[in-house]
Amino acid sequence: MKNTGFHLTSAQPERRLVNVFIEAFIVGAVGFAIAMVANSLSPRGLSLTRNYFPPAPTQVASATNNAGVVASPPLLATNASRENKLAERLAARGLRLIEFAGVRQLYQDPRREQELIVFVDARNEQSYLEGHIPAAYHFDHYYPDKYLPEVFPACQQAEIVVVYCIGGDCEDSEFASAYLVDAGIPAARLNVFAGGFEAWKTNGMPVEIGPRGSGELQQRQQ
């Protein structure tokens, strides 16, 4: 880097001000263009046109008719009110909420071995590899092209699909289910596990580490 020591005493103050604004405009325009190119080249880049957070039908009707409207995220809420609201949104989408007891029953059901009951993990890749419900398929709905070819046939042949994310305020299971419905999986098959992976772990259920079918199981203490 050369030591220019450049300064502007030869320019008029008002011209300097105009120059700074022109410079800022160029920085903004070039920066935005470069950012858009970087996003399109990045393997983790976002699609600009997709609505990642489609509102449930009743939300759309109450807010606006615009199909591109984003669902409002939940603010701080108690567990009970959170689950009630989730159940309402799921019902509006034709989906069902399922509690831990029901999920455990499905996990122990022999139909799971025949893949007639399928678990779908809607968290990101890192969380999935750190631990998931044994034999659960991974479906990060933000990158459907990567995961749908594997998860879609499994959901198509299953009788019951249980979709989960981390639990709590996490909405990824809801949006992943909505995406699967749009892709052609009947909504009646889909069950959203509200407690999510946190509830699974805290109840001492087995956890598979690494990719699906790695066989590396971890039985946690209740």
Question: Which residues contact other proteins by CB under 8 A?
Answer: 1-11, 15-16, 19-28, 30-32, 34-36, 38-39, 42, 44-53, 63-64, 66, 68-70, 72-73, 75-76, 124, 140, 142
Choose between 16 and 220: whose C-beta lies nearer to other proteins.
Answer: 16
User: At 128, which amino acid appears?
Assistant: Y
Choose between 69 and 135: whose C-beta lies nearer to other proteins.
Answer: 69
Choose between 20 and 91: whose C-beta lies nearer to other proteins.
Answer: 20
Q: State the nearest-atom distance from the C-beta of 37 to other proteins, in Å.
A: 8
Q: State the nearest-atom distance from the C-beta of 99 to other proteins, in Å.
A: 25
CA distance 183 to 222: 37
Q: Contact 196/173 with Cβ under 8 angstroms? A: yes
CA distance 30 to 24: 10
Q: Which of 160, 142, 140 is nearest to 151 (CA)?
A: 140
Choose between 1 and 221: whose C-beta lies nearer to other proteins.
Answer: 1
DSSP letter for each residue of 13-32: HHHHHHHHHHHHHHHHHHHH
- Inter-CA distances, 219 with 91, 131, 133, 216, Å: 34, 11, 11, 10
Q: State the nearest-atom distance from the C-beta of 52 to other proteins, in Å.
A: 7
Describe the crossing of helices 172-183 and 144-157 by its angle, rounded to 10 degrees: 70
Q: State the nearest-atom distance from the C-beta of 175 to other proteins, in Å.
A: 10
Q: State the nearest-atom distance from the C-beta of 96 to other proteins, in Å.
A: 24
Choose between 19 and 218: whose C-beta lies nearer to other proteins.
Answer: 19
